[in-house]
Amino acid sequence: MTDTSRDTATWMQRNRMTVTPILFLLPGLLFFTVYVIIPIFQSFQISLYDWDGLGAATYVGLENYRELGTDRNFEISLWNNVRWLALYLLAIPMGLFIALFLNQTVVGIRLYKSLFFFPFVLSQVVVGLVFSWFYLPREGLLNAVLQFFGLGTVNILGDPDLATYGIIAAGLWPQTAYCMILYLTGLNAVDPEQVEAGRLDGAKGWKMLWYVILPQLKPATFIAFVVTIIGALRSFDLISVMTNGGPFGSTRVLSFYMFEQALGEYGFRMGYGSAIAVVLFLIMLVFIGYFLWQMWRDERAARHG
Amino acid sequence: MRSIFKTGASALAVTTMLAGTAFAQELSGVLRISSDMSNPGPRAVMEQLAAEFDELHPNLTVDLTIVDREAWKTQIRNALSADPPDVVNWYAANRMAPFVNAGLFMDITEWWDAGDFAGLESVRGALTQDDRVWGIPYTYYQWGVYYREDIFNELGLSEPATWEEELANCQVIVDSGRACYTIGTRFLWTAGGWFDYLNMRTNGFDFHMALARGEVPWTDDRVRATFANWRQLIDMGGFIADHQNYSWQEALPFMINGEATAYLMGNFAVDQLRNGGLTDEQLDFYQFPIITEGLPQGEDAPTDTFHVAAGAQNVEAARAFLQYVASAEVQTRINGPEGLGQLPVNANASVADDEFIQQGFAMLSQNAQGGIAQFFDRDWPAEMASIGMEGLQEFMVFPDNLDDILDRLEAARQRVY
C-alpha cells in the first residue's frame, strides 16, 4: 500500500511540468472539442445527406455539392461575399486616417474620440435600422439631400444592383470605428525618438507615415485585418435587418443563405445548408490558416530575435 | 325489449360523454398547450379559452405557453421533437406535411369519424393528408380587395366585376395621380396572393391546384397568360413604386393617406386600416373580379389549426379541448368582433355582425364554387413556395425578366417534386 502511494506521488512529482498545463487546458479543450471541433465534422457529415431535421436522413453522397454548382442563388451569395471581403477592407485605411486625425492634444479630444467610437457601441441591428431609414425611397434623408441638389431619387435597398453596396456602407460605419480604436492604441506606442530621427532625416507627410509610422503600427494593422476579414465573412445581421436577403435574393451572402436553407421558414434542408456551411468554412480556413501562420512566424521571430 | 333499451341507454351515455360535460369529472392532470396566437387580440382570446377550459374541469390544470407567431414557425420543430406539449397551433394544407411525414402530429381521424367535430365537415379536406386527418381548424378568413369607397365615389367608380372593368377603373385611378393598389413585397408572400388570384381567375381553381402539386410546368402557356394579365396592371402603374422595400404593414399608409385606393389582402388588414383612421364609410370590400368568363371562382381562405402532438401525455384532455374549441358556441364567440374578428369554421356557428366578415362569409359560402385554396405558401411545398415567391417579386419589379424567372421556377419544380 505505502509503496504504491509513494510511487504515484513520485510519478506526479516527476511529471508535474507536463501534467499541470494539461490539467489547466483540459476544461477549455473539452468545451472547444464539444462545441467547435465536433460540430465542424458533423457539418461535413450532414452535408452528405438529404435531411429535413425531423425525419430520417437519406445518404446522397456529393449531390448537395453538385446542386450548389448549378444553384444561381449560391453563386450570387458567393459573389456578394467577395464584394463584402473587398470593400469591408476599406475600414482599415479609413480607420487609420481618422485615428491619425484624432491623435492630437486639443481641448475636448476625449469627447471627439468617443463620438467617433460611438457607432461601434451600437448593436448591428440598430445600425441596420438607422441606415435603412436613411435610404428610404421617399422619406429617407439620403433622397432628401439628393433632391435638394436637384438630383433624382434613388432606391438603394430596392435595387438589386445597389442593395449590397448599401448594406456594406452601413457595415463600414461601425467597422471603421473599430479600426480607428485599434490604431489609436497603436499610435500611443509609436516611439517619439524614431519620429524625431525621421524628421531630422527630412521625412515629412506621406513619407513619414509610410516609412516611420506604419511599420510601427504593424501589430495594429494585423489585428484590424483579422477582425475586418472575420467581420465581412460573418455579415448576417445587417442583411437580415435591412433587406432580408432581398430584393429577390440579390443581397444574400453565404451565411445568410445557409441560415435560410437550414433554419428559415421555408427551409429545413439541413444537408444543403450544411454544404453551404462547409464551403463557407473552407473560405474562412484560408484566412484563418494565414493568420495562424503569421502569428506563429511573429512569435518565433520574437523568441529568437 | 329490455336489452334493446339497455343498449340504447348506454349509447346515449357514450354520446353525452363525448359531448363534453361528462368529461368534467374524468379529466385530470395537466393539459399543455403551445400557441402561436401572440398578437394582442388573438392572445387575449387564447388566454381566455385556456382559462375557461381550466375552469370547466376542476381536476385539470391547463398550462398555456404563447410563442411569438413568427418565431413559432421555426420553434414548433423543437417543441414537437423534445418533450412535446399536448396541443399546438399550426396551419392547414401543405404546411402540415413535414410534421405529418415525420410522425409528429397525432392521427385523429377516429375522433373525426366518431363525430367529435360536428359542423366542421366542409373543412376536413384541408386537414387531410394520406387519407388521414391530422388536426382541426379553429378560424379562417377571406382574401379579397379592400378599397377606399370614398375615393371610388369621388372618381365615379363602382366595384368591378370583370377584368375589363378592373382595368378601366385602374386607368381612371392612375389618371387621378394615385396607384390602384398598395402592396409591400419585402417579405414576398403578398405577391403570392396576387398570383393566386390572377391564376385562379385566368385558368381556374383546378389548374391552380395542379400547378401547386407540380403537375404543370411553369413554362406552360396558361401560366404565361396569368403573368400577361398581371403585367397589364404593372405596366399601367397600377401598383405603388418601391414596394420591394415595404412589409405589408408599411404599405398600409399608402391606402390610409389615399395615395393608393385598394389592397388585395386578408381580412386581418381591416383591423389595421381601422386603427389607421379609416371609417367603415371609407372602406369597402369586393371579390377579385372575373377574368375568364365561365370559370367558377376559387378563393384564398387560409385556415389556422390546432393539432395534437404525437407524443402528447394527456390525450383525453387534448381531445376534449379540441371538441371544445370546435363547438359552435365557442366558435361563434372566439371568431366574434370581440375575439379574432374572423370566420368561424363550424357551420352551426353564427357569423359576427361586421360588414367585412359578413361579406366574406357570403362570398365564400355562395360565390366560391371553384374551391377554397389555402394560400401560395401553404399550397405549394415549402421549397417551391420560397423560390416561387422570390420570382413573383422579381416579376413585379422587372416584368421583362419573365422568361428567365419562369425557367428558374421550372428548374426548381423538376427538382422539388
Find the CATH number of the domain harbouring A105: 1.10.3720.10
What mean pLDDT do residues B305-333 have?
Answer: 93
Dig out the grid coordinates for A148 from the structure.
435638394
CB contact under 8 Å between A53 and B77, yes or no, is: yes
Count of helices and strands (H, E) across chain B: 19, 13
Considering the domain architecture, whether residues B223 and B82 belong to the same structural domain is answered as no
- Give domain status of residue B333, yes or no: yes
Question: How many CB contacts within 8 angstroms connect chain A with chain B?
Answer: 67
| Alpha-carbon distance B225 to nearest alpha carbon in chain A (angstroms) | 22
In what helix (H) or strand (E) does residue B140 lie, and over which residues does it extend?
A: strand B136-140
Position A4 scores a pLDDT of 52
Which residues does chain B have within 8 Å of residue A140's beta carbon, measured at their own beta carbons? none
Dig out the grid coordinates for B376 from the structure.
401560395
Residues 6+ apart with CB under 8 A from A110: none
Question: Would an 8 Å CB–CB cutoff place B253 in contact with chain A?
Answer: no
Dig out the grid coordinates for A159 from the structure.
435595387
| Alpha-carbon distance A266 to nearest alpha carbon in chain B (angstroms) | 5
- Confidence at A3, pLDDT banded by 50, 70, 90: low
Identity (one letter) of the amino acid at B363? M
| Among candidate residues A276, A279, A280, A271, the one with its CA nearest the CA of residue A53 | A271
What is the average pLDDT score of chain B? Answer: 89
Which residues does chain B have within 8 Å of residue A53's beta carbon, measured at their own beta carbons? 77
- Give domain status of residue A233, yes or no: yes
Question: Would an 8 Å CB–CB cutoff place B401 in contact with chain A?
Answer: no
Q: What is the pLDDT of residues B113-132, one digit of tens each?
A: 999 998 888 888 889 999 99
- Give domain status of residue A21, yes or no: no
- Give domain status of residue B367, yes or no: no
In what helix (H) or strand (E) does residue B180 lie, and over which residues does it extend?
A: strand B179-181
| Among candidate residues B26, B3, B23, the one with its CA nearest the CA of residue B15 | B23
Look at residue B8 and tell me whether its pLDDT is greater than 60: no
Provide, for chain A, the percentages of residues in helix, strand and coil under a 3-state DSSP scheme, each rounded to the nearest 5.
Answer: 75, 0, 20
Residues 6+ apart with CB under 8 A from B393: A246, A247, A248, B185, B188, B191, B244
Which residues does chain A have within 8 Å of residue B186's beta carbon, measured at their own beta carbons? 243-244, 246
| Alpha-carbon distance B189 to nearest alpha carbon in chain A (angstroms) | 12
Asked if residues B137 and B126 have their Cβ atoms less than 8 Å apart, the reply is: yes
Position B341 scores a pLDDT of 85
Q: In whole angstroms, what separates CA A28 from the centre of its chain? A: 23
CB contact under 8 Å between A54 and B104, yes or no, is: yes
- Give domain status of residue B226, yes or no: yes
Considering the domain architecture, whether residues B170 and B255 belong to the same structural domain is answered as yes
Considering the domain architecture, whether residues B156 and B137 belong to the same structural domain is answered as no
| Alpha-carbon distance A118 to nearest alpha carbon in chain B (angstroms) | 28
Position B10 scores a pLDDT of 44
Position B317 scores a pLDDT of 94
Dig out the grid coordinates for B351 from the structure.
357569423
| Alpha-carbon distance B241 to nearest alpha carbon in chain A (angstroms) | 9
CB contact under 8 Å between B394 and A54, yes or no, is: no
Question: Would an 8 Å CB–CB cutoff place B386 in contact with chain A?
Answer: yes
Q: Which domain holds residue B190?
A: 143-300+381-416
Q: What is the pLDDT of residues A230-267, one digit of tens each?
A: 999 988 999 999 998 889 889 999 999 999 999 888 87
Q: What is the pLDDT of residues A176-216, one digit of tens each?
A: 999 999 999 999 888 888 888 988 888 888 888 888 889 99
- Confidence at B371, pLDDT banded by 50, 70, 90: confident
Asked if residues B324 and B123 have their Cβ atoms less than 8 Å apart, the reply is: no
Q: What is the pLDDT of residues B12-65, one digit of tens each?
A: 444 444 444 444 457 889 999 999 998 888 899 999 999 999 999 999 999 999
For residue B162, the 8-state DSSP code is B
CATH of the domain at B55: 3.40.190.10
Query: Cα(B321)–Cα(A249) distance, rounded to whole angstroms?
Result: 42
Considering the domain architecture, whether residues B287 and B317 belong to the same structural domain is answered as no
Alpha helices, DSSP H, located in A58-191:
63-70, 72-88, 91-102, 109-121, 124-135, 141-148, 163-188
Considering the domain architecture, whether residues B165 and B266 belong to the same structural domain is answered as yes
Q: In whole angstroms, what separates CA B250 from the centre of its chain? A: 21
Alpha helices, DSSP H, located in B90-204:
97-101, 109-113, 149-155, 163-175, 189-203
Beta strand pairing call for B87-91 and B132-133: unpaired
Q: Which of B245, B248, B375 has the highest number of chain A CBs within 10 A, making it the mutation to test binding with A?
A: B245
| Alpha-carbon distance A103 to nearest alpha carbon in chain B (angstroms) | 41
- Give domain status of residue A195, yes or no: yes
Say which residue the cell 343498449 belongs to: B7
Beta strand pairing call for B29-35 and B87-91: parallel
Query: Cα(B284)–Cα(B286) distance, rounded to whole angstroms?
Result: 7
* Number of domains present in the structure of chain B: 2
Say which residue the cell 455579415 belongs to: A235
Look at residue A274 and tell me whether its pLDDT is greater than 60: yes
* Number of domains present in the structure of chain A: 1
Query: Cα(A111)–Cα(A121) distance, rounded to whole angstroms?
Result: 15
Query: Cα(B403)–Cα(B313) distance, rounded to whole angstroms?
Result: 52
- Give domain status of residue A261, yes or no: yes
Q: Which domain holds residue A239?
A: 73-304
Query: Cα(B396)–Cα(B410) distance, rounded to whole angstroms?
Result: 18
Dig out the grid coordinates for B27 from the structure.
379529466
- Confidence at A305, pLDDT banded by 50, 70, 90: low
β-partners of residue B133 are B128
Considering the domain architecture, whether residues B295 and B308 belong to the same structural domain is answered as no
Dig out the grid coordinates for B306 from the structure.
390546432
Position A5 scores a pLDDT of 53
Q: A247: cis peptide before it, omega within 30°?
A: yes
- Give domain status of residue A241, yes or no: yes
Considering the domain architecture, whether residues B155 and B206 belong to the same structural domain is answered as yes
Look at residue B230 and tell me whether its pLDDT is greater than 90: yes
Between A4-8, A24-28, A218-222, B136-140, the lowest mean confidence (pLDDT) is in: A4-8
Position B89 scores a pLDDT of 95
Q: Which of B90, B244, B376 has the highest number of chain A CBs within 10 A, making it the mutation to test binding with A?
A: B244
First to last CA, chain B: 60
Look at residue B352 and tell me whether its pLDDT is greater than 90: no
In what helix (H) or strand (E) does residue B88 lie, and over which residues does it extend?
A: strand B87-91
| Alpha-carbon distance A265 to nearest alpha carbon in chain B (angstroms) | 6
Position B13 scores a pLDDT of 42
| Among candidate residues A248, A60, A257, the one with its CA nearest the CA of residue A160 | A248
- Give domain status of residue B248, yes or no: yes
Considering the domain architecture, whether residues B80 and B159 belong to the same structural domain is answered as no
Query: Cα(A281)–Cα(A269) distance, rounded to whole angstroms?
Result: 18
* ipTM of this predicted structure: 0.83
For residue A36, the 8-state DSSP code is I
Considering the domain architecture, whether residues B312 and B400 belong to the same structural domain is answered as no
Q: In whole angstroms, what separates CA B405 from the centre of its chain? A: 27
Look at residue A40 and tell me whether its pLDDT is greater than 70: yes
Tell me which chain A residue has its CA closest to the CA of residue B384.
A266
Q: Which of A265, A268, A270, A272 has the highest number of chain B CBs within 10 A, making it the mutation to test binding with B?
A: A265
Position B3 scores a pLDDT of 44
Position A28 scores a pLDDT of 95
Residue B354: exposure state from Cβ atoms within 10 A (0-12, 13-18, ≥19)? middle
Question: Would an 8 Å CB–CB cutoff place B77 in contact with chain A?
Answer: yes
- Give domain status of residue A282, yes or no: yes
- Give domain status of residue B311, yes or no: yes
- Beta-carbon count within 10 A of B257 CB: 12
Asked if residues B345 and B365 have their Cβ atoms less than 8 Å apart, the reply is: no
Question: Would an 8 Å CB–CB cutoff place B391 in contact with chain A?
Answer: yes
| Alpha-carbon distance A83 to nearest alpha carbon in chain B (angstroms) | 22
Tell me which chain B residue has its CA closest to the CA of residue A135.
B245
Considering the domain architecture, whether residues B316 and B331 belong to the same structural domain is answered as yes
Considering the domain architecture, whether residues B158 and B258 belong to the same structural domain is answered as yes
Residues 6+ apart with CB under 8 A from A83: A164, A165, A168
Position A253 scores a pLDDT of 95
Identity (one letter) of the amino acid at B258? G
- Give domain status of residue B205, yes or no: yes
What mean pLDDT do residues A263-283 have?
Answer: 91
- Confidence at B278, pLDDT banded by 50, 70, 90: very high
CB contact under 8 Å between A266 and B382, yes or no, is: yes
Tell me which chain A residue has its CA closest to the CA of residue B79.
A54
- Facing residue for A157 by CB, picked from B188, B245, B394: B245
What mean pLDDT do residues B138-144 have?
Answer: 93
Q: What is the pLDDT of residues A73-122, one digit of tens each?
A: 999 999 999 999 999 999 999 999 999 999 888 888 889 888 998 898 89
Q: What is the pLDDT of residues A51-72, one digit of tens each?
A: 888 878 899 999 999 999 988 8
What mean pLDDT do residues B384-409 have?
Answer: 95
- Give domain status of residue B370, yes or no: no
Q: B296: cis peptide before it, omega within 30°?
A: no
**Residue of higher predicted confidence among B21 and A175:** A175
Position A106 scores a pLDDT of 85
Position B312 scores a pLDDT of 93
Look at residue A168 and tell me whether its pLDDT is greater than 60: yes
CB contact under 8 Å between A247 and B397, yes or no, is: yes
Say which residue the cell 484560408 belongs to: A286
The percentage of residues in chain B with a pLDDT greater than 70, rounded to a whole number, is 94
Q: What is the pLDDT of residues B71-99, one digit of tens each?
A: 898 889 889 988 899 999 999 888 888 89
Considering the domain architecture, whether residues B118 and B149 belong to the same structural domain is answered as no
Residues of A with CB under 8 A from a CB of B: 52-55, 67, 72, 136-138, 155, 157-158, 243-244, 246-249, 260, 263-269
The percentage of residues in chain A with a pLDDT greater than 90, rounded to a whole number, is 60
- Give domain status of residue B376, yes or no: no
